[in-house]
Amino acid sequence: MYGIKSPSRMAPATEAASNEVLIVAHGAPSDPEPQEVALKELADRVAKLLPNWHVRSATLAAPGALDRALDGMTAPHVYPFFMAEGWFTGTHLPARLLSAGASGVHLSAPFGSDTALADLVLDTALSAAATAGFPPSQTNLLVAAHGGKRSGASAEATYALVREIEDRGEFCTVAAGFLEQEPFVTTVAHDLCGISDANKKHVVCLPVFALRAGHVVQDIPKALSQAGFDGLLLPHIGDHGRVPEMIAAALKRASVTQVA
């Protein structure tokens, strides 16, 4: 309906249609301002890597933020700072762009679809394990994600990420746990920690979330606590220092499809 294509059906990589960029994230409806600030800081870091590009940001949750960010832009390149393709990136975001009167908009694949994400997750987990003195062969990696009751997009993206990391053969076990669907983080964390000293493994938990909101700050620590988790909980992947470089690189090589 909105001309959206999946990444596999996108046109070959081309230069962005313009030097205007809008980074969009979901945000937090109950408290939108902190996420607006965090996304603006990310956009500023991306802008430093893209001389002569104009980079703005907006969350969908902050009233009027998307309209304000689009004001004065001509054929901007919109980058979804989301962890998966799904309803928000495929339907809701294009509809919001059209509703805001945007024209000539080009929409890229979301952050979670970046082929460099698996390398970032693996490098982050390995570095943290080494710092903690956890031999990877004796360490289980728990990838904590959102999941969803209505759509399987989040789970599918997470499982694809887990399979790619698992194929590298660095950790003893790599598993996904979700907040909004089975298998839940609490269950997976309990299983990965082992049930006795004889088979107990070190466990590293890495939340694959874009922004630091309630799920990262409250829900994941609570779920791990309920599991009796005594492993290492890492900061969410969206806060990693290499993320601005990934976004800048994706914008330079972007495969795009016009949506408005």
CATH number of the CATH domain containing 95: 3.40.50.1400
Domain count, the chain: 2
Do 226 and 121 belong to one domain? yes
- Please spell the DSSP secondary structure of 36-55, one letter per residue: HHHHHHHHHHHHHHSTT-EE
Give the position of tokens 């998307």: 66
- pLDDT score at 199: 62
- Categorize the per-residue pLDDT at 4 as very low, low, confident or very high, splitting at 50, 70 and 90: very low
Strand partners, 140: 173, 203
Least confident range from 57-61, 83-87, 148-152: namely: 148-152
Do 226 and 133 belong to one domain? yes
State CA 42 to chain mean position distance.
Answer: 13
Q: Do 25 and 61 contact (CB within 8 A), yes or no?
A: no
Distance between CA atoms of residues 260 and 257, nearest Å: 9
Share of the chain above pLDDT 90, in %: 69
Residue 51 lies inside a defined structural domain of this protein: yes
How much is the average pLDDT of 80-96? 91
Do 24 and 128 belong to one domain? no
Question: Residue type for 252, please?
Answer: K
Least confident range from 62-76, 108-122, 152-166, 242-256: namely: 242-256
Residue 190 lies inside a defined structural domain of this protein: yes
How much is the average pLDDT of 91-109? 89
How much is the average pLDDT of 215-239? 93
Q: Do 128 and 161 contact (CB within 8 A), yes or no?
A: no
Do 127 and 228 belong to one domain? yes
DSSP 191: H
Do 17 and 95 belong to one domain? yes
Q: Do 237 and 95 contact (CB within 8 A), yes or no?
A: no
Do 52 and 149 belong to one domain? no
Which residue range forms the structural domain that includes residue 15? 7-113+242-258
- pLDDT score at 231: 93
* pLDDT over threshold 60, residue 14: no
Do 184 and 251 belong to one domain? no
- Categorize the per-residue pLDDT at 197 as very low, low, confident or very high, splitting at 50, 70 and 90: low
Greater model confidence, 118 or 3: 118
Residue 1 lies inside a defined structural domain of this protein: no
Give the chain's mean pLDDT.
87
Share of the chain above pLDDT 70, in %: 88
How much is the average pLDDT of 80-101? 91
Do 134 and 228 belong to one domain? yes
- pLDDT score at 198: 55
Reported as a single tens digit per residue, the pLDDT across 185-196 is 999 999 998 754
Do 81 and 133 belong to one domain? no
Residue 248 lies inside a defined structural domain of this protein: yes
Do 121 and 225 belong to one domain? yes
Residue 158 lies inside a defined structural domain of this protein: yes
Q: Do 65 and 121 contact (CB within 8 A), yes or no?
A: no
Do 195 and 253 belong to one domain? no
* H or E segment and range at residue 143: strand 139-145
Burial of 86 (0-12, 13-18, 19+ CB in 10 A): buried
Reported as a single tens digit per residue, the pLDDT across 51-67 is 989 999 999 999 999 99
Residue 2 lies inside a defined structural domain of this protein: no
- pLDDT score at 29: 87
Distance between CA atoms of residues 13 and 250, nearest Å: 10
- pLDDT score at 87: 85
Residue 177 lies inside a defined structural domain of this protein: yes
Pick from 234, 221, 214: nearest CA to 34: 214
Do 102 and 159 belong to one domain? no
